[in-house]
Chain A
Amino acid sequence: MSDFKGRTLSWQIVNGAIEVALHRDPCNEIGSLMLDELEKFAAALPGLGNEVHALIVHSTLKAGFSAGADLRELFQRAQQMEKGAALRGVRKFLERIHSVMNALDAAPLTTIAAVHGVTFGGGFELALVCDIIIADRMARFCFPELRLGLIPGFGGIPRLKRDLGNAVVRDLLLTGRSFNVMKAQQIGLVSQIAAEGEALRVARATASQVGKFDRRTAAAAKAFVKPIPYEELKREIDIFCDLYSRPAVEEGLRKFVEDEGVQPYLP
């Protein structure tokens, strides 16, 4: 399926690169519908292999790349189930999203996240599976999960540890603070900074550059330098589910969803 138009994302091939555009209002929250469509994409990806040399993931929404997991859906679904069933549902969701993330992480072509604005939580984790992150100057990154009594659950911790120094990982996780693109480049997370609104253009230029090289060689080089921490990723799911079962988390989610005074993007 070389192109697809879904409700939360679409993809097409542009100049030898697959471009996946996220477009679920208000800020690409990753819930069950987006997971379904991400799975569709992951299933289609091997079939696209011979036609393309790069993958670009970006967002067409003004607010940003992605605000992360759909916490409203998570809370509302849990309210409709007994506790054990809700926890099993959460584990199943995490296993599915991990499967998608792992497929993207291991894809035998160069993957580029072109990000802007809010790149939080699961959205940050989606960017982290890519080989290269290009961010416009208004991009802002965050792992806010500790604010809700959780840890990142879509593979963020093992991937952040893979890419950054442990002190930086501790700072970001334990403070739950957001940080801008200058900091992101300084710590080695972001490869290139684009002007506001120009991340996709810069990503396309980068995709064009990587397209000059032998694809098999590039795939071999990538597999060599980018190990996927499968055991740690499984452990992350276990820790997340263990934390999720606590009453404080339900209360944190309830407040996030129901409190009119909440400021979701600020701590």
Chain B
Amino acid sequence: MSAPTIDHTLDEILNLAALHFKVPREKLAPDDDFFKTLGIDSLQALDLLTRLEHHFRIELPDYELQGVSDFRTLANRIQARL
């Protein structure tokens, strides 16, 4: 089975983030700063990372998130593990 496309991965991230942090999906855009848009701190960002790892069945070291604050870059990091 081939890996999903980056657009599909990005879409799944936005859906998961919207659902878990109870933010309307239409308010999230790929280039948004997820800390600001979701209103989260580093503890909640870690929570999001754990949920994404479970969802995509991957291991994504947290240091891969250094300097990452937008959904699109996050999607690229995840895509590289699929």
- Specify which of B41, B43, B53 lies most central, judged by the most chain A CB atoms within 10 Å of its CB: B43
Q: Does A180 lie within 8 Å of B62, measured CB to CB?
A: no
* Residue from B53, B59, B63 in contact with A175 in the complex, judged by beta carbons closer than 8 Å: B63
CA distance A192 to B78 in the complex (A): 26
Chain A residue numbers with a CB within 8 Å of B41 are: 263
In this complex, what residue of B is CB-closest to A177? B61
State whether the Cβ of B46 lies closer than 8 Å to any Cβ in chain A. yes
Q: Does A182 lie within 8 Å of B53, measured CB to CB?
A: yes
Q: Does A266 lie within 8 Å of B42, measured CB to CB?
A: yes
- Specify which of B45, B50, B51, B65 lies most central, judged by the most chain A CB atoms within 10 Å of its CB: B50
Q: Does A182 lie within 8 Å of B61, measured CB to CB?
A: no
CA distance A142 to B59 in the complex (A): 14
Q: Report if A265-B63 is in contact (Cβ < 8 Å); known contacts: A180-B50, A180-B53, A182-B53.
A: no
CA distance A265 to B44 in the complex (A): 9
Q: Closest approach, in angstroms, between the C-beta of B18 and any C-beta of chain A?
A: 18
State whether the Cβ of B54 lies closer than 8 Å to any Cβ in chain A. yes
Q: Does A175 lie within 8 Å of B61, measured CB to CB?
A: yes
Q: Does A140 lie within 8 Å of B45, measured CB to CB?
A: no
A-B interface contact total, Cβ < 8 Å? 50
Q: Is the interface of B mostly helix, strand, loop or mixed?
A: helix
Interface size, chain B (Cβ < 8 Å): 16
State whether the Cβ of A159 lies closer than 8 Å to any Cβ in chain B. no
In this complex, what residue of B is CB-closest to A263? B42
State whether the Cβ of B47 lies closer than 8 Å to any Cβ in chain A. yes
Chain B residue numbers with a CB within 8 Å of A84 are: none
Chain B residue numbers with a CB within 8 Å of A175 are: 61, 63
State whether the Cβ of A35 lies closer than 8 Å to any Cβ in chain B. no
State whether the Cβ of A63 lies closer than 8 Å to any Cβ in chain B. yes
Chain B residue numbers with a CB within 8 Å of A180 are: 50, 53-54, 59
Q: Report if A178-B54 is in contact (Cβ < 8 Å); known contacts: A263-B41, A266-B62, A267-B66.
A: no
In this complex, what residue of A is CB-closest to B57? A182
12 contacts between A and B (CB under 8 A): A63-B43, A137-B54, A175-B61, A177-B63, A178-B46, A180-B50, A263-B41, A265-B43, A266-B42, A266-B45, A266-B66, A267-B66
- What 6 A-B pairs come out closest when comparing CB atoms? A263-B42, A265-B42, A177-B61, A267-B63, A266-B42, A265-B46
Give A contacts to B, CB under 8 Å: 27, 63, 117-118, 137-138, 140, 142, 175-180, 182-183, 263-267
